[in-house]
Chains A and B, each alone.
Chain A
Amino acid sequence: MRADPHGVLTGTHFMDGDHACCEGALAAGARFAAGYPITPSTEVVERFASRVPTVGGSFIQMEDELAASITLQGAVWGGTKAFTVTSGPGFSLMMEHIGYAAMTETPCVFVDVQRGGPSTGLPTLPAQADMMQARWGSHGDYEIIALCPNSPQECFDLTIKAFNLSEEFRVPVMFMMDEVVGHMTEKVVIPPADQIEVVPRKHTHKSVEEYLPYGTNGDMVPEMAHAGEGYKFHVTGLTHDERGYPNMTPQTQDKLVRRLQNKIRVAADRICMFEQDRLDDADVVVVSYGITSRVAQRAIDLARERGLRVGKLRLITAWPFPDKKIVELAAHVKAFVVPELNLGQMVREVERAAAGQAKTFAVPHAGGGVHNPDDILNAIVEATRC
């Protein structure tokens, strides 16, 4: 389906990541946001509040993130595409409702513009320390998708992708920005609406009698209905059967949570996006994401100038983690170098997936700024010598 032109600000712009994310949401068809102010994410919803009354739809600033994170889900079930935006402390508050979205299979997007933590931390400075939280933050077994843009242009493009994935898989998608990407101003090209591919809501065409809210036809993603259409369906966060009725038995639990997990895992090849460069002859691969990938690029280039055979793997999809790609690379490289603005999060995934076939070197950073490329370069050099 093509994007609705009313929401597409076609043209060449000079804008920061937060603003570009808002435009991406509008282009994707989002017509509702519920938010709560938190630095450095607030501009996303401030722009949405200003734009949406002339595009169609609404914005409401709720009294806290607990409310915002579920108000948007009410809007989804009311028939619209919706999202919210936050940073660390708000992300923590939203965890219960991320779990609710996963359990009820509510398609929606949660944007986290990461900042220094823990707790109040560094409100105006970057970090990438919510990556594990994005995956495991809520209780129970569930699976989500997480994307990491590394530029304002990607904040536009990948927000559309985030919405598309959320609709395709009926899953909450975590859009993991960071304060630098959110506040850096760069050229953002927004194409005409007819060049933007948008995934529509997987709405059922079944009759009221036939429709099963959580029944699947083998593709593991149920069809959805909206309130007010006569289906009289029930949605609950309790473990439920295909009718959506609470059914609290181990058998129903097993069936349900495995499906919630598998609907993402079996499609991992399609969902996992990454950018790769010069991997064919690489001894060492630098695995990075978000703003760190741009600093890492400098380190990789410097290393190559010195004759070191270094390749780049930039994670665009952080979750599900691209196990397959790491396994493939681990078979022929000596080591992975994983710089992150945290004390070691995604590096654990790289190490796990590499399963000892290659070494893993972390380049941690407690946050508050970006790496000095020399620190990444030194790690690369050390990795080539191992």
Chain B
Amino acid sequence: MLNVLDDTINPVEPFLRSDRMPHIWCPGCGIGTTVNSFARALIESKIDLQSLALVSGIGCTGRVAGYVKLDSFHTTHGRAIPFATGLKLANPKLNVVVYSGDGDLSAIGGNHLIHAARRNIDLKVICVNNLIYAMTGGQTAPTTPGHATTSTNPYGTFEPAFNLPHLVDAAGAVYVARWTTFHVRQLSRAISEAFAKKGFSFIEVISPCPTLYQRRNKMGDGLDTMKYYKEKSKVKNGANTSEVGLTLNGEIAVGKFVDRDRPDYQTMMRAQYVEALGDRYVEEAVECCCSEG
């Protein structure tokens, strides 16, 4: 889609299903901003879009799948990661991205998150963390900081929140980073780095939910939140992930926390079968399940 006033084109436009714009995200929501960073990472990394598949779960961030012009799968709540695992195992040539929210990935999807990290499945997981269940109206998420007000904790939350980088680091992820939607360039670079890496990569992006999280906690609108991120973020590359937990009004540690190498699931699987079976190992199906031609 071209801008009617001139003949330039938005760099992100080729990656969008323009026929579905404008999207449903609220004014000041940061999800669209993360998509910009994602698109630019794709351009920078020269990723072959044909072999890129994007899988999302349910929630506001889950809607990303419907707006990107890629082979995209909007799956069930919490189960983007196992679906993505199946895609990747069936076609190892695919570059598989999981793009989903904090509730989807760490609550209902928590079990799958830790197992995929443990197995080091070659997936790039972009977790947009708006600290709330936004789509359903602002309920407490495992990432909601203590003493925040939500619709299911109307008197304030009192549970400790997940420190997602720490969780996935402990589970075995090879690349763990956190940025906010203010850090558009750093986020883009992190996504590019994840693409260059084999194994389970997890990038958390703190994002405003002005309609629910920010409004209920009297934190202003999307712009106020972006300024807040600018003020409260502190780059701590290589930090110990146990120390990067978030609080209601505290510092937001951002940066690349984990970048290590260990063999991914398919590399290990292949090695094991080759050792056990030698020549008898047949890696891929010989015939496709489709008819000839």
Contacts and interface: CB of A to CB of B under 8 A. Distances in A.
A and B touch in their complex, CB below 8 angstroms = yes
A122 to B, nearest CB: 27
B50 A78 contact: no
Nearest to B108: A66
B284 interface: yes
Contacts of B74: 234-238, 246
A345 B82 CA distance: 33
B289 A31 contact: yes
A115 interface: no
B46 interface: no
A80 B289 CA distance: 6
A31 B50 CA distance: 23
Given A203-B291, A231-B71, A232-B71, A245 B86 contact: no
Interface stretch (B32-40, B62-70, B151-159, B239-247): B62-70
A233 B74 CA distance: 11
Contacts of A70: 75-76, 79, 82-83, 86
A221 to B, nearest CB: 15
Contacts of A32: 86, 89-90
Interface string B225-244: 00000000000000000000
B112 A63 contact: yes
A218 interface: no
B90 A97 contact: no
Nearest to B72: A234
Interface string A42-84: 0000000000011111101011101110111111111111100
A6 interface: yes
Interface residues of B, number: 51
Interface string B257-293: 0000000000001000100010011111111111111
Contacts of B17: 234, 245
Contact of B85 (A74, A80, A228): A74
Contact of B86 (A57, A78, A96, A205): A78
A205 B70 CA distance: 19
Contact of B94 (A29, A57, A78): A78
B18 interface: no
A336 interface: no
A200 interface: yes
Contact of B89 (A55, A58, A233): A58
Contacts of B93: 228
Contacts of B217: none
B91 A6 contact: no
B202 interface: no
Contacts of B72: 232-235
A228 B82 contact: no
Nearest to A230: B50
B85 A4 contact: no
Interface in A315-351: none
B287 A236 contact: no
A226 interface: yes
A79 B286 contact: no
B282 A6 contact: yes
Contacts of B252: none
Given A75-B89, A82-B86, A228-B91, A67 B289 contact: no
**Which of A63, A81, A203, A245 neighbours the largest number of chain B CB atoms within 10 Å of its CB?**
A63
B73 interface: yes
Contacts of A236: 65-66, 73-74
B111 A6 contact: no
A74 B289 contact: no
Interface string B106-126: 000001100100000000000
B20 interface: yes
Contacts of A53: 273, 277, 280-282
Interface residues of A, number: 56
A201 interface: yes
B263 to A, nearest CB: 16
Given A81-B289, A234-B17, A229 B280 contact: no
Contact of A77 (B69, B87, B111, B285): B87
Interface string B162-192: 0000000000000000000000000000000
A73 B82 CA distance: 9
B53 interface: yes
B285 A74 contact: no
B280 A54 contact: yes
Given A78-B91, A203-B290, A234 B65 contact: yes
A56 B284 contact: yes
Contacts of B86: 32, 34, 70-78, 82
A386 interface: no
Interface string B36-62: 000000000000011101010000000
**Which of B70, B82, B94, B273 neighbours the largest number of chain A CB atoms within 10 Å of its CB?**
B82
A71 B282 contact: no
Contacts of A76: 86, 90
A110 interface: no
A226 B85 CA distance: 15
Nearest to B53: A227
Nearest to B293: A205
A29 B287 CA distance: 9
Given A100-B76, A235-B74, A54 B288 contact: no
Given A97-B76, A237-B75, A71 B290 contact: no
A238 B91 CA distance: 25
A167 B289 CA distance: 10
Contact of A73 (B83, B112, B277): B83
Contact of B87 (A1, A62, A74, A246): A74
A71 to B, nearest CB: 4
Contact of A79 (B73, B75, B111, B289): B289
11 contacts: A4-B286, A31-B285, A32-B90, A56-B286, A66-B111, A67-B111, A71-B85, A71-B89, A79-B90, A227-B91, A237-B74
Q: Which 8 A-B pairs have the closest CB atoms?
A: A74-B86, A78-B90, A236-B74, A67-B82, A200-B291, A75-B86, A75-B90, A71-B86
